[in-house]
Structure 1
């Protein structure tokens, strides 16, 4: 019984502690509740603000939602037109407007936050014509318009570019008809290609989307001008306390410091930037070279194994296209890449026919005296030096490298998340998948590239390296840098594969 007393005393103290702390527990949920709900307006402008599968998303939407969570506020979104939304926020019928550039009049009308992101305006021109213009900023464009009355500029109707000199020239051009307004980027693109204008100003992300959707990447290009405009959140002075604006300013600083805003920007910016890269001439050249190399490797594999002409078509097609088809089926990318452009099937078939013709050239030239003698000597030299095997290895390495880069690019373009997983996975499948399936068809269960060959490992290593670099650079990467990085990855993968063959590298084994 004496031992029960300490237990009862402990229980009474615990009960008193719980009773004393009850008000704090009860108040806790109330303290955790967000601040007042802000009435935020949005207007359709992809990729900044748009609906996808019934859900509201976009660069501005994701950024402002992250800022609101950090500031302790909830948002109720309502769709508006651009100008009506400005009027409603000014009158207090709405609380928040996103993505607004500052002017003196707007500073008087709205309570503006500090800048949370930038718009970048560029000059879009017909491909091959941009290099003739040397300016790199809005003031340079204004001076060019003043000096060259024959240059016809397209702009967005009712839009200010927030540069005094440029806006002045647009409002009062030196020659009538020199500046022509349009309601959207698609109209300006059509006018540019029809020769009605010589260039037009556009927000970089929006015009990249329009160019991609209209498949005009081969027809137009960006001039070197980059005109950055800081964008703010505009709060209604009639309904929004100063403390709310201060909370959002603090959130902007915090999320910029921890990289959250950059991560959101990269998710929306890089796929559009990459889509322009995929439409460029140099990347198409890379695709063509990769397809030719892979098809040549498949054809030579068929020759080394003594397959028929039809079998050569099968192996060439599998090597060049199977990895990409598997990749597209895995991520639900339709139409499948190779089905979008018949050029690549033509390249595969053409490669097989060319190799078949060269292989049978000796038979056609047999008995043709001197020419036949030199062809015979060349054939002997080729066999002595095993040049057919060397050619197969070189072509296979180039196909592996180019396809790996394409796989990583598709992962970015599909916005596959998490990218650290999907980038290397799709790069490896696209790069090594065709070669592995080719060897499955050739060797049954004996597949050197899965046993002792350092093959898929090359694709994985360089897909990881390229993905890691793109993740590190995020929103800051530019088109010129993309070109350098992609070419470096292709060359690195080719050299790695050749080194693996020359030095007889072996991959890690399970046991």
Structure 2
């Protein structure tokens, strides 16, 4: 009965957005991936769930018949805390407004709300947060590892996500620090007297590493900080040699501080499940059981996957898209689209301003249309005008070259050279165009993820197609060109739609184990797939899918006698 009421409430909330209602039916099924846990985690969860059967008997019930944790605790909120742990816990600023957000913040709040509780969050260091759970000053902490001594004062939930610890070093020291395992890292730290940055009170996924950190004789080499940001800054400023951190957090810091090319990640095979810890002094086991049930239901109904995609995917995707190799792909596409506009401007004898417009529209016009549709502010081209600068540079270079060439050679030679250039360069331009289409397809889906467009399997392909072909379509409209290739000609827009859909589905199936590596593989697969499909369709002259291909009939000629 509760599930029926929940589904009706969700339907009412989505009535204001008709497309979301129409296409939202299948989004949860796509986002829901089965949880896979290690045997040790399963044993722990079984122990935590032993008392779930007595949950209703131990708790109070609301008028609707649903057990309400607030009635058990005699209050409507539980106390928690947060420290800067981007993208799990951080402050987001937009339009002059700051708000606390992040995946763990959202999950903690969602699980609590589902059992009738609010969450009061106050900024506090990790070590102090644990001390507050021990004394009963706070009720719950997220992102905690399973440690025997913590069980003396805390009640563990079932696991809700996993974490991988990695080591970050400066890239220029890569050859001097060739460790690949925790043991090799510790030996190198001891031998070279290296300094290591860690979070005060944090438990890392290696007993050997923890023994080294807790050994008083190593105190001079262990630099303890309150936040990962502090540790990362010390690494950049060479105050520590190695920085231990959650893999996603480290990559996020490197991206936000624009240091992706200055640091290097070392994977050490250090991973473990994470839990919520409740204070034994303030939270009874019946409430923990209710919280566990909420964790389980969130994975079953797809809400967990939705929260993961909303808070982790934008950060990890943008990290990949900001990398040098992806920027090169985008530049190749921008130049190819700009050259196609140049050819049209040359044929129509456009002036300098007209040429700028003809080249800019296919290059950046699709992105502008996409951002307007997605209500993204500020527009991508305004926030990062580098692509527009590339278009202007292409026009200026072409202007100078063409005028110098015409100055020294006759019109006949210019015409002959133009034909020869078209024959030689057309294939190269088409390959660059295909690469650009692949990159723009990924960018379109990424924007859909960033603006939390739901369902992703619908909006992702749509924004991918708009990004890839919207600018060319706008250019053809501007010049009143009757034959618009993206609508009536070659197999082009369909490529962005198809591979945008594939990429969106891949992203929705990555909610159980999210990491930078998997995101990069997905981006490469989608971009390469779209580019190869375009190249094949061009060289084999594959036409677009005709709307009436199933209904073509031979025309019978008739004549009057």
- Deviation, 1:108, is 1.0
Looking at structure 2, the residues matched to 244 and 503 of structure 1 have their Cα atoms a distance apart, in angstroms, of 64
Q: Kindly tell me: are residues 394 and 277 of structure 1, through their superposed partners in 2, closer, same or farther at Cα, counting changes over 3 Å? A: closer
1:16 maps to none
1:471 maps to 508
- Deviation, 1:166, is 1.4
For the residue of structure 2 that corresponds to 1:186, the secondary structure is helix
Q: Does 1:236 align with 2:273?
A: no
- Whether the 8 Å CA contact 1:301–1:392 is kept in 2: the answer is no
Q: Does 1:330 align with 2:373?
A: yes
1:284-299 correspondence runs (5 A):
284-299=327-342
1:440 maps to 477
Looking at structure 1, the residues matched to 444 and 481 of structure 2 have their Cα atoms a distance apart, in angstroms, of 26
Looking at structure 2, the residues matched to 182 and 88 of structure 1 have their Cα atoms a distance apart, in angstroms, of 18
1:316-327 correspondence runs (5 A):
316-327=359-370
User: What count of residue pairs does the alignment treat as equivalent?
Assistant: 476
2:108 maps to 64
Q: Deviations over 1:380-409 (max 9, x none)?
A: 6456xx445545544443333322222222
Aligned partner of 1:41 among 72, 80, 91: 80
Q: Does 1:419 align with 2:456?
A: yes
- Whether the 8 Å CA contact 2:309–2:449 is kept in 1: the answer is no
Q: Kindly tell me: are residues 414 and 34 of structure 1, through their superposed partners in 2, closer, same or farther at Cα, counting changes over 3 Å? A: same
1:181 maps to 224
- Deviation, 1:259, is 5.5
Runs of 5+ consecutive residues of structure 1 not aligned to the other structure: 1-26
- Whether the 8 Å CA contact 2:134–2:154 is kept in 1: the answer is yes
Looking at structure 1, the residues matched to 309 and 184 of structure 2 have their Cα atoms a distance apart, in angstroms, of 29
TM-score by length of 1: 0.80
Q: Kindly tell me: are residues 138 and 63 of structure 1, through their superposed partners in 2, closer, same or farther at Cα, counting changes over 3 Å? A: farther
Looking at structure 1, the residues matched to 460 and 364 of structure 2 have their Cα atoms a distance apart, in angstroms, of 19
Looking at structure 2, the residues matched to 347 and 319 of structure 1 have their Cα atoms a distance apart, in angstroms, of 13
2:543 maps to 505
2:247 maps to 204
Looking at structure 1, the residues matched to 129 and 286 of structure 2 have their Cα atoms a distance apart, in angstroms, of 23
Q: Deviations over 1:64-104 (max 9, x none)?
A: 3444466x453443536345543443344543333322322
Q: Does 1:116 align with 2:156?
A: no
1:456 maps to 493
- Deviation, 1:172, is 4.6
Looking at structure 2, the residues matched to 100 and 358 of structure 1 have their Cα atoms a distance apart, in angstroms, of 63
2:14 maps to none
- Deviation, 1:434, is 1.4
2:39 maps to none
1:11 maps to none
- Whether the 8 Å CA contact 1:40–1:95 is kept in 2: the answer is yes
- Deviation, 1:468, is 1.4
Q: Kindly tell me: are residues 193 and 49 of structure 1, through their superposed partners in 2, closer, same or farther at Cα, counting changes over 3 Å? A: closer
1:29 maps to 63
Looking at structure 1, the residues matched to 139 and 239 of structure 2 have their Cα atoms a distance apart, in angstroms, of 42
1:215 maps to 258
Looking at structure 2, the residues matched to 88 and 490 of structure 1 have their Cα atoms a distance apart, in angstroms, of 48
For the residue of structure 2 that corresponds to 1:41, the secondary structure is strand
Q: Deviations over 1:458-499 (max 9, x none)?
A: 222221121111112235354334334333333332333344
2:517 maps to 480
Looking at structure 1, the residues matched to 421 and 322 of structure 2 have their Cα atoms a distance apart, in angstroms, of 39
Q: Kindly tell me: are residues 142 and 73 of structure 1, through their superposed partners in 2, closer, same or farther at Cα, counting changes over 3 Å? A: farther
Looking at structure 2, the residues matched to 467 and 451 of structure 1 have their Cα atoms a distance apart, in angstroms, of 26
Looking at structure 2, the residues matched to 253 and 131 of structure 1 have their Cα atoms a distance apart, in angstroms, of 45
Q: Kindly tell me: are residues 353 and 410 of structure 1, through their superposed partners in 2, closer, same or farther at Cα, counting changes over 3 Å? A: same
Greater CA deviation, 132-141 or 33-42?
Answer: 132-141
Higher-RCO chain (CA-CA 8 Å, sequence separation at least 6): 2
- Of structures 1 and 2, the larger Rg is shown by 1
For the residue of structure 1 that corresponds to 2:204, the secondary structure is coil
Greater CA deviation, 100-109 or 179-188?
Answer: 179-188
CA-based RMSD of the aligned residues comes to 3.6
- Whether the 8 Å CA contact 2:368–2:380 is kept in 1: the answer is yes
Aligned partner of 2:234 among 173, 181, 191: 191
Looking at structure 2, the residues matched to 126 and 293 of structure 1 have their Cα atoms a distance apart, in angstroms, of 36
- Whether the 8 Å CA contact 2:140–2:276 is kept in 1: the answer is yes
- Whether the 8 Å CA contact 1:43–1:80 is kept in 2: the answer is yes
2:49 maps to none
- Whether the 8 Å CA contact 2:331–2:387 is kept in 1: the answer is yes
Looking at structure 2, the residues matched to 377 and 439 of structure 1 have their Cα atoms a distance apart, in angstroms, of 27
For the residue of structure 2 that corresponds to 1:235, the secondary structure is strand
Looking at structure 1, the residues matched to 265 and 154 of structure 2 have their Cα atoms a distance apart, in angstroms, of 34
For the residue of structure 1 that corresponds to 2:267, the secondary structure is coil
- Whether the 8 Å CA contact 1:208–1:272 is kept in 2: the answer is no
- Deviation, 1:226, is 5.0
- Whether the 8 Å CA contact 1:296–1:395 is kept in 2: the answer is no
1:101 maps to 145
Greater CA deviation, 425-434 or 200-209?
Answer: 200-209
Looking at structure 2, the residues matched to 414 and 133 of structure 1 have their Cα atoms a distance apart, in angstroms, of 40
Aligned partner of 1:407 among 444, 462, 465: 444
Q: Deviations over 1:239-271 (max 9, x none)?
A: 433333344445545545666544433432222
Q: Kindly tell me: are residues 485 and 76 of structure 1, through their superposed partners in 2, closer, same or farther at Cα, counting changes over 3 Å? A: closer
